[in-house]
Structure 1
Amino acid sequence: MRSLRAIAIALLLSYSAQAAELPDLGEVARTTFSAAQEAKLGREIMRQIRIDRDYLDDPELTEYLNNLGDRLAAASEDPGRHFEFFVVRDATINAFALPGGYIGVHTGLFSATRSESELAGVLAHEIAHVTQNHIARIVAVQNNALLPTLAALAVAILAARSNAQVSQAAIASAQAYSVQSQLDFTREHEREADRVGFQTLSRSGLDASGMASFFERLQTQTRLYENNAPAYLRTHPLNFERIADMQNRLQDVAYHQVADSLDYRLLRAKIQAQQGEANDAVKRFANQSYQDEQDEAVRHYGMAVALLRANQAERAAAELQAIPRKIGQSAIVQNLAADVAFARGRGGEALALLRNGLAANPDSRPLAYAYAKALLRQGQPTSALELLHKQLRLHPDDAQLYELQAQAYQALKRTMESHMAQAEAYARRDEYRAAVEQLQLALKSGDRDFYRLSIAEARLRQLQALVERQEVTR
């Protein structure tokens, strides 16, 4: 397996294949594999995934996916549960749930959905795997025997970055007692996730038919291309009975049409424009038909993304100009317009676009990131700091804001504060050792300000304690 993404999927396969039966009560399972243990394992896996090349750090996609996921989680059976949704750069159709409520979605799956409710249906299914405590329940059935398997897989994830053969051996060892005959019980998990996920999707106000329509299309694709089944079906066994169950549930739900959000449509176009060769993407969008004004606007946006990839900034600008003003005020369109302006050598125009865009969309973190980066790029670190201070008051746990703050301080030659901000960025990603190193550098920077020294020393002690705790629990 080449990457952490593949190993994360292997983790899903491993715990699914261990199911001998489903205990009636999730609380019983928690006596064997506690919520704290699961959360700890999930954080360790995510710490490694975030530095993998396939992890897609796209603020717009991440914000959208988490907003949609949070809407579904609020309608789930456990609305207080921690969830974090992330994007994997992979053209295959797949999604997966990890310990601790972390849910990954391939760009290929996002692109393959035909409606927002279809995407939501997949997320609702993955959320159900988490809320039903499937990992903990499997551990309980195995009477603790699975804990070494999970630990071995965590080791495999760590090994994968430097030695793929070592990681494969670790995975093979961890899965040694997984028996093919137990796959029937994997289907039991899937049926439960279908049922609970369907209820979540219905309560969220989205189109409840989205789950059935997407899975039915995957099943059809499997019949047509037996040797090239979507990756999602290899990790989530699907059969006609499950699809029939979903369709039967639809009979009890009043149909109401739900329009796709503009953000969904734009971001789906963005993913499609970033797939394959840039010139091929340009041709695909040039040949696209459209039915209404929003369709046409989405096509122009996708074409602009593809043209910018192909280093045709002037043509990209013309495509954006063709987008109606109302749709053009979208934070996603404004962000692209600023990128195009920079590519045309118009930094001042880019700043104005981002400033006005953020004023119109004050809750858009992607625009805030882009505006801060633009201010730094244009040699305005003081203005960038003012913006970042405001954003951090609203979002004190945002690692990217701290990283940008570190860059702004460095541009102003405020070295100690730069190291302190970078330490907070690392800490927000559970990289405590790296955070400690940054604070040690801060204390050696020569800054004699007593107040800042006191803060840095106190924070260093806190993070050193977290490093020790992290080492003990590994």
Structure 2
Amino acid sequence: MLPLMRTPLIILLSSLICFNVQGSENLPSLAGSTNSSYQLEQERALGQAWMRMMKAQAQLLDDPIVESYLKDRLWYLSPFSELQDKRLDLLVIDQQEVNAFAAPGGIIGINAGLLLATETEDQLMSVIAHEFAHLSQRHFAQQQAASEQRQPLVLAGIVGSILLSSINPNAGAAALQGTIGASENARLSFSRQNELDADQAGMRTLVAAGYDPQAMPQMFAQLAQANRFSGSAVPEFLRTHPVTESRIADSTNRAMNLPSASTENRVHQNFMIAKSRVAVKYGAENQLLNNSELDESAKHFTHYLKALSVNNNEEAQNHWEALSKSWQQHPWVQLSRLTQLSLSGQATGQLMDELTDLYPNDLAVQAALAKTYREQGNVSQAISLYRKLLRDHPNNTLFLYHLAELYGLINDIEQLHRTRIEFFFQRAEFDLALRQVEFARRDARNNRIQLGWLEQREREIRSDQLRFDELFK
């Protein structure tokens, strides 16, 4: 197995958030003109750095269909938003807890559990639009500028606490207390005015994109209602985005004055497919199936996925036959059919060839096919597909992990080392990447091409490591 040693993010955070004023002078300052392209690039660099470290700490969801769906929704919504910089990166966290966050530089994080909490795609998009608004309104920069008048609070501490909270809420809260202890009113959650601004900007984005503005107050009301029965287990989203009765009323009144979107002709399949997959993964399918308004095909698909998860092929087949043709022919549903055929020992080659030919650039389809090849022991085909996927998604650490494992299976030591180096590098685990370079050198012997590549890669890794050290000095 690929080693998963890592530098704990909480240790790094404790060193970041305890810096004095002199130490913070070398950090990116965002207190000046919050509209400058220079500071946008500073935020981008900081966000990208945190995202890489986040990949080493958080459990990312290994479901290309859910990831593909959420990415598609981000890309769809982005042109309608007020974002100045529309470069976006998505992290899908493998946690059932309801949470979503934004970090400077276009980083959007979504817990898989958010899909369970939303009843409609409009509600899901209202949360994403709200997070976009925090970015477009430059609330992180404003928070940093205001904090400099109270204490030496650096943006790295704010971002670090947000990202750490998405991994471990208690650790995030502890790190946050260290960051903001000198100020009674400063906290991880945005100010009331920031939240109102994000509600308003997010609602404008929703309407422009053709979604129902009522979805936002509906979502707030659902979260507030769920919180009443949660005891001390307050959802992380509510810790960072507190929902009050006045805020719900304000968003409700605002939505009433905006045009409502028609949902009659809207296709909800993709949303329901992703939601069903998450529900079955976390054993929460009854929560979904108890919804009396759930489409019959969506119910059968959820039952179908559940039957597959417990290897009940007969029940799975019954629910497959009950699906409408439009569902049976959907490529993401066909991928589940592929799983059923594989589990029952039936031939999968024809369906795999059809999906490969029909959807050559679909992330979900191609990644699912690579996984199927891997599980069937077809290593060469799996390697070929993962290499293709990495050409389009070079920073995907899950693809790198699986590819490294496959190279190990065929004893391709040169490519195994190269892929492991990239895996650790993309997670900002520089010491582990450099250690892997040394392992590779021992095995390279007189391979001049490999030794030359290793020398160049080592220089690049050390250079990036220095850049990180400067960024968080």
What is the match of residue 470 of structure 1?
468
What is the match of residue 277 of structure 2?
270
What is the match of residue 208 of structure 2?
203
CA contact (8 A) 2:53 2:427 kept: no
What is the match of residue 444 of structure 2?
446
How far did 1:220 drift?
5.0
Question: Are 1:344 and 2:344 counterparts?
Answer: yes
Specify the SS of the correspondent of 1:388. Answer: helix
How far did 1:231 drift?
4.5
CA contact (8 A) 1:403 1:425 kept: yes
CA contact (8 A) 2:122 2:212 kept: yes
Specify the SS of the correspondent of 2:191. Answer: helix
Question: Are 1:382 and 2:380 counterparts?
Answer: yes
* Cα-to-partner distance string for 1:129-156 (whole Å, 9 max, x where unaligned): 1121111111112227665455556787
CA contact (8 A) 2:308 2:316 kept: yes
Specify the SS of the correspondent of 1:307. Answer: helix
CA contact (8 A) 1:274 1:305 kept: no
Paired residue total? 446
Pair 1:373–1:233, CA change in 2 (3 A): closer
The letter for the 2-side match of 1:139 is Q
What is the match of residue 74 of structure 2?
69
The letter for the 2-side match of 1:428 is Q
CA contact (8 A) 1:198 1:211 kept: yes
For 1:111 and 1:353, the matched residues in 2 are separated by 30
Question: Are 1:94 and 2:99 counterparts?
Answer: yes
Residue pairs, 1:75-474, within 5 angstroms: 75-143=80-148, 148=153, 150-151=155-156, 170-180=175-185, 186-219=191-224, 231-258=236-263, 259-276=266-283, 281=285, 295-346=295-346, 348-349=347-348, 351-446=349-444, 448-474=446-472
Which deviates more from structure 2 when the two are superposed, residues 327-336 or residues 124-133?
A: 327-336
For 2:267 and 2:197, the matched residues in 1 are separated by 27
Pair 1:461–1:144, CA change in 2 (3 A): farther
The letter for the 2-side match of 1:340 is Q
* Cα-to-partner distance string for 1:268-313 (whole Å, 9 max, x where unaligned): 1222223347xxx4x667766567xxx2221122112222333434
* Cα-to-partner distance string for 1:155-183 (whole Å, 9 max, x where unaligned): 8799999x999987544322312314999
CA contact (8 A) 2:158 2:188 kept: no
% same residue: 27
Which deviates more from structure 2 when the two are superposed, residues 46-55 or residues 371-380?
A: 46-55
Specify the SS of the correspondent of 2:435. Answer: helix
CA contact (8 A) 1:156 1:168 kept: yes
* Cα-to-partner distance string for 1:182-227 (whole Å, 9 max, x where unaligned): 9998110001001111111122232333223222343455678887
The letter for the 1-side match of 2:280 is A
Specify the SS of the correspondent of 1:97. Answer: strand
The letter for the 2-side match of 1:443 is R
The letter for the 2-side match of 1:211 is M
How far did 1:99 drift?
3.5
* Cα-to-partner distance string for 1:296-342 (whole Å, 9 max, x where unaligned): 22112211222233343442243234323332232321222233333
For 1:260 and 1:121, the matched residues in 2 are separated by 17
Residue pairs, 1:26-65, within 5 angstroms: 28-29=33-34, 34-52=39-57, 54-65=59-70
CA contact (8 A) 1:417 1:442 kept: no
How far did 1:469 drift?
2.4
Specify the SS of the correspondent of 1:444. Answer: helix
What is the match of residue 14 of structure 1?
none
For 1:358 and 1:204, the matched residues in 2 are separated by 32
Pair 1:125–1:153, CA change in 2 (3 A): closer
CA contact (8 A) 1:86 1:104 kept: yes
**What are the ranges of 5 or more consecutive residues in structure 2 without an aligned counterpart?**
1-7, 17-29
* Cα-to-partner distance string for 1:442-461 (whole Å, 9 max, x where unaligned): 33223644444433322222
Specify the SS of the correspondent of 1:86. Answer: strand
For 1:60 and 1:378, the matched residues in 2 are separated by 20
How far did 1:108 drift?
3.2
The letter for the 2-side match of 1:57 is D
For 1:343 and 1:383, the matched residues in 2 are separated by 19
For 1:67 and 1:392, the matched residues in 2 are separated by 18
* Cα-to-partner distance string for 1:352-384 (whole Å, 9 max, x where unaligned): 434323333333223222222332333433333
For 2:287 and 2:165, the matched residues in 1 are separated by 36
What is the match of residue 3 of structure 2?
none
